[in-house]
Structure formats: structure tokens, C-alpha cells
Amino acid sequence: MNNPLIIYSYTPDRLKEFKNEKKDNDIIVTALNILEKDGLEELTDDKNIYVDITNYYKSAQDNPIGVEQIINIVRKKENLHIIINFNLLTRFKSDFGQFIETIIPINNIYKSKNEVKIDISNLSDDSIQLLKNNLNNNLYGHKKFKEELIKQIKNYSILYNLGELKIMSILICGDSGIGKTELAKIIHNTFYKDSKMIKINLGNYKTQGALNSLIGSPKGYFGSERGGELSNKIQNSDSRVILIDEFEKADTDIFNFFYELLEDGKFTDLNENEFDLNGYLIIFTSNLNEKNYKNIIPAPLLSRFTMKVLFEPLDYATKNKYVQEKCKKLVNIYNEKYDKSINFKDVLKNIDKDTIKTIKNIRYLNQIVQNTLISYIENIN
């Protein structure tokens, strides 16, 4: 009888952590080691053997029989396991999802089942202070919001432990390029920098059946074994922060889905897998403004958000600070990389202050700094 197939995914950081912790009788081999009979005979049953299929799978796109052969070998021995680079997971699951029971990050192999995972509901005082520092250092502007966010995180922890609130959720409206997405990245990197960020852009969901794309098609339907983008990303990440971009592009089914998710703290995908998101933070971003967001997002859903925030455009002082710090950072990296001694202030002189005043999107400011540095380098060479 074949054993259930568990796939262990890795990023370079996860693999490094696993190698540092793994036991003496746990070894990593290539797929070719398993396919070669002599190699397989040398791998005794007293060892846990992790078969890295990454390179073989890349080169075997036109030869799925070879991959199936490896899968069949692994399923017949309890001590054999498949590991694969995280970036190949979506395609691998699409090709061989019918064999796969579950997918687990490789660095979770030695973690105790009782180990408490960091989530937004159980942050220590030190963790909250770390987040506060990172927000102040990396999120430009929005001072009052940052103060209120820290306060609401502390409140959420109390309400969560009282059983009153399951998921913390924030709806952030405002113009593009003023820090909405950056907020999610900062929180994710503060606590889960070794995991892939869970990000969904609803601007890509423009066809019928958007909910199926999000959480998978019902069993028996074409593509049901692939799962949905949200369910796959949750399953393959340790992060407890989810970013939902361009939320105003959602259709009625997706609005209803998130209403129920924020109410229940969990959801069941269309493949009948349950996902418990208690302790998660979900950040919804939108380019809507204070005047029109109530016309787009249903009132019952609006009532479920922990915080509703309008990000105001950044003032000149904040934008100017960003330009200076970005320029200094880029010049320092350039000097170290190419053994040069450029003074960042000389580059700054070439950036027009009136241009900074007129630009609202911080991404455009970033491009100006980049282009000015390149132009300066060309002129001095």
C-alpha cells in the first residue's frame, strides 16, 4: 500500500535552517540518487532521506514519467521524502496534485507540535516594540496611524483571548504609492522574514469564478487539484500576515467570502480543506477615497474591519526625507559595490525640489533618485 505523499518546500533560508538542525541519520540526496539502483541500495531504512527533486523537475518538464517514477518510489518507503524549491510548488502541484496529501515548509520538520507560533494575538512587549521601531524607521509619514495601530494590536490581543475577535483586519484607502502595501511588508518582515509573503492582488481577478481562483474549484471540476491562490499561499508560508491589494476590484462572492472569514476566523476551500486563520492580520488596501469607499464595499463587511483608515498624501517634508535617505542608501551601496567614494549630497543637488513637491507617489520618487544617480555616474566617468 502506498504511503501518503507529503511534500517539504524550501527557500534558501529554510534549507539552511533545516541543515543546521537535522539529525545525523537525516540526509539530503538528489532525484538521480533515487533513480540509480546502486544509489538506492546504499540508502538504508534507518535513515530519513530527503530527495531534492528541484533540478530534476526543472529538466524533466517534457518527461513527467520520470517524476512519477520518483513519486512512486518515495510513496513505497516511509523514510523517503520529497523536497522542492518553493518557487516550483505551484507548477508541481498542478502537475502532480493528485498524489500530494499536504505541503509543509521544511524548517517545520523539527518544530514541536506544541510550539507556540508568533501571531498578532500573542506578541510580547519586546515584539511590539520591535514592530513600533520598524514602522517608525521604514513607513514614511502617517504618524497618528502608526500610534493607533500599536494601540489596536494590544487591544486585539486582549479581545482575542476573551474570545471576542478572531482575526485582526485593516482596510486602508488612499492614493497609490503612499505606503499602504509597504505597511504589510514591514509587519511581515518584522516577524516572518524567512517566509514567503502572502499577497493577493484582486486586480488580477477580472473573470467569472473569481472565488474559485481564490480558494480553488470544487472537487471533480477541472483544475480542482491545483487549489486556489489564497489557500495555496497560506499552506506554503509561515507568515500570519495576509495582504489583499486592490480590494475594490472584488466581486460580490469575494466580498461575502471575506465577511464570513472575518466573522468565523476560518474558511473551508472548495476542496474541503479547512484553514484556521485565528491570530492572523489581514490588510486590505484600496485606491478608494473617503467619499466613495462606502459606495463600493458593502456595509456589513465594513463593520467587520478592526480598523478603517484613510492614508493622506505625504507632505513635502516627508517626501524630501525619503529622497535624502534613499539617495544616501543607494550611494553607499554603489560605493561599496564598485569601490567608489561618491558623496550622496552631490547627487542630491541634481534633484529638483519643486519636482519633489508635485509628485505624490513614492515609487516615482524612487525612480527619480535612481535615474539621478545613474546620470551622475555617467557624467563623472
Whole-number mean pLDDT of the chain?
A: 86
Regarding predicted confidence, which is higher, 42 or 260?
260
Question: Are 195 and 290 found together in one domain?
Answer: yes
Q: Please report whether residue 100 resides in a domain.
A: yes
Question: Are 189 and 285 found together in one domain?
Answer: yes
Strand partners, 223: none
In the chain, the number of structural domains is: 3
Question: Are 207 and 90 found together in one domain?
Answer: no
Separation of alpha carbons 109 and 23, rounded Å: 11
Taking the CB of residue 223, how many other CB atoms lie within 10 A of it?
13
Sole residue written with cell 505625504: 314
Instruction: Tell which of 108, 143, 158 closes a domain.
Output: 108
Q: Please report whether residue 113 resides in a domain.
A: no
Are the beta carbons of 47 and 140 closer than 8 angstroms? no
For 104-108, 155-159, 244-248, which range has the lowest pLDDT when averaged over its residues? Answer: 104-108
Summarize the confidence of residues 244-251 as an average pLDDT. Answer: 93
Question: Are 282 and 170 found together in one domain?
Answer: yes
Question: Are 346 and 362 found together in one domain?
Answer: yes
Q: CATH no. for residue 145?
A: 3.40.50.300
Name the CA dihedral angle for 121, 125, 127, 129, rounded to a multiple of 10 degrees. Answer: 120
**pLDDT range class, residue 116, cuts 50, 70, 90:** very low
Tell me the pLDDT tens digit for each residue of 39-63: 555 666 777 889 898 888 876 555 5
Question: Are 236 and 278 found together in one domain?
Answer: yes
Question: Are 239 and 354 found together in one domain?
Answer: no
List the domain range (segments joined by +) for residue 339. 316-380
Q: Please report whether residue 117 resides in a domain.
A: no
Q: Please report whether residue 133 resides in a domain.
A: yes
Backbone angles phi, psi at 362, to 5 degrees: -65, -20
Question: Are 304 and 335 found together in one domain?
Answer: no
Instruction: Tell which of 82, 108, 134 closes a domain.
Output: 108
Put simply, whether the predicted model's pTM sits higher than 0.75 gets the answer no
Strand partners, 9: 84, 105
Tell me the pLDDT tens digit for each residue of 282-331: 999 999 988 899 999 999 999 999 999 999 999 999 999 999 999 999 99
